[in-house]
Homo-oligomer: A and B are copies of this chain.
Amino acid sequence: MFKVNEYFDGKVTSMAFEEATGSATVGLMAKGEYEFGTDKKEIMHVVSGELVIQLKGEENWTSYKTGEHFNVDGSSSFKLQVPVDTAYRCQYID
């Protein structure tokens, strides 16, 4: 019923669904380091755990924990350091 997508050999697994405001995914990231590219602008919510991120073109790394969220520009990318298995929700903004 829901499309399950796997990245980085399954270390990141997400499921796609539609919200009233547009497309979204909910998923899990295993402890590790990743980099993702973006097409649309994204709002990333930490559902449970922690994501430490570096946005493209920025020097600093910022930590986001359960209940917090951050924005990523469209046609961009961001690096993540994931200190613990983390659940997230991603909203894609047209």
Contacts and interface: CB of A to CB of B under 8 A. Distances in A.
Interface of A: 1-2, 4, 6, 9-11, 13, 15, 17-20, 24, 26-28, 30, 45, 47-49, 84-85, 87, 89
Contact of A87 (B13, B17, B49): B17
A27 B19 CA distance: 14
Contacts of A4: 4, 13
Contact of A26 (B10, B24, B27): B27
Nearest to A15: B28
A47 B47 contact: yes
A20 B84 contact: yes
A85 to B, nearest CB: 5
A31 to B, nearest CB: 10
Given A15-B13, A18-B85, A84-B20, A28 B26 contact: yes
Contacts of A20: 84
